[in-house]
Amino acid sequence: MTGMDTITYRPARDELAYTFGGRMPVAHVRSGDVLRVFTEDCFGGLVRGPADLPSRVCRMPYLNPVSGPFFVEDAEPGDTLAIHLAAIEPARDWGVSSTFPHFGALTSTSHTATLQPPLEERVWVYDIDRQTGTVRFHATGSDHSVDLPLDPMIGTIGVAPGGFEARSTIVPDSHGGNLDSPELRAGATLYLGVNVHGAMLALGDGHARQGEGEACGVGVEIATTTTLIIEVIKGVPTVWPRLETDTSIMSVGCARPLEDAYRIAHRDLVGWVSDLTGLEQLDAYQLVSQAGRAPIGNVCDPNYTVLAAVDKLLLPQPQAAYGGMHARLRQHAGVPR
């Protein structure tokens, strides 16, 4: 973690990317570098008021833009990329949400296909107050409003997939992508397996907050300035995305149906717990069954996301994950432990 640089990147509109994979890098970063990235919102900033219906102002496939990809030096297939989310700052004093025709959990969709007409498309504009740490919801059909806690997160972050694939930024999968989990807030470290030379990290789709499952298909969408610290862990593979905070470790599963996302995440966490503690697999399965949490990420994207989480305090004598990487990155980010 020597020779750390701070790389600042703000994409021009035509530099925004709509896939993971299949794109040339916009910048190079090294282990230990701090990356400050401006990310646009999922609508490319084009939805600013009730009249800006997404299906009218946005054009497929120009949705959910990400900033990047960043070529990470020395990252090779078989390595793990550790990405510490040091800060996620809303870039504007408003956020926006909407319904979108045939998208979301409580509507029929392109895949859960029915003959019914879509729900009405509608836009909600939220006020963001960083002083008070609130996001203000305004009803559209009445004059109700209420303040929700500001809890900024990055909805979409990932690396290039393997197998020569390029995947839409709408999709979450083993390469990361549109995970849409509230756990991707500042203070967390994300571990992603590297699939291609240079990893090709990209991110976007900030949310001022979202409910678990992102039921309507859209969070409180914001542009952000996001600060990351990057580190390559050589020779250690990671199959599905993993997260670590000061208190928890979490495995991420992405699939349909939703129980498969649960299964992927929990099988991974059982293996991880077994590795960190020396517990036999069945013992780790038992412990996770009683001590685990299973926060739902999204139930609207092409793959749904479920996390399997366990508090470190509930593990017997665990080793530090990835050799203590999270604590080091935390310190590097200036957070005393």
Q: Which of 111, 131, 235, 334 binds its own copies (CB under 8 A)?
A: 111
**Does the protein bind its own copies through residue 24 (CB under 8 A)?**
no
Smallest gap from Cβ 186 to its own copies, in A, equals 19
Residue 101, preceding peptide bond in cis (omega within 30° of 0): no
The token pair at 178 is: 């549109």
Smallest gap from Cβ 2 to its own copies, in A, equals 35
User: Which residues in the 74-93 window bind its own copies by CB under 8 A?
Assistant: none
Per-residue burial over 124-159, b if 16 or more Cβ lie within 10 Å, else e, is bbbebeeeeebbbbeeeeeeeeeeeebbbbbbbbbb
Is the sign of the CA dihedral 334, 233, 179, 64 positive or negative? positive
Decide if 276 contacts 310 (C-beta within 8 A): no
Smallest gap from Cβ 333 to its own copies, in A, equals 28
**Does the protein bind its own copies through residue 14 (CB under 8 A)?**
no
User: Which residues in the 166-185 window bind its own copies by CB under 8 A?
Assistant: 166-168
Question: What is the per-residue binding string for its own copies in 201-240, x denoting contact by CB under 8 A?
Answer: --------xxxxxxxxxxxx--------------------
Walk across the sheet containing 6-9 and list its strands. 6-9, 34-39, 224-233, 80-90, 189-193, 242-244, 248-255, 304-311
User: Which residues in the 261-320 window bind its own copies by CB under 8 A?
Assistant: 262-264, 266-268, 270, 277-283, 285-296, 299, 304, 306, 314-317
Decide if 29 contacts 70 (C-beta within 8 A): yes
**Does the protein bind its own copies through residue 9 (CB under 8 A)?**
no
Closest by CA to 175, choosing from 190, 154, 187, 186, is 190
Question: What is the per-residue binding string for its own copies in 90-109, x denoting contact by CB under 8 A?
Answer: -------x-x----xxxxx-
User: Which residues in the 182-201 window bind its own copies by CB under 8 A?
Assistant: none
**Does the protein bind its own copies through residue 137 (CB under 8 A)?**
yes
Closest by CA to 119, choosing from 135, 143, 139, 101, is 101
**Does the protein bind its own copies through residue 49 (CB under 8 A)?**
no
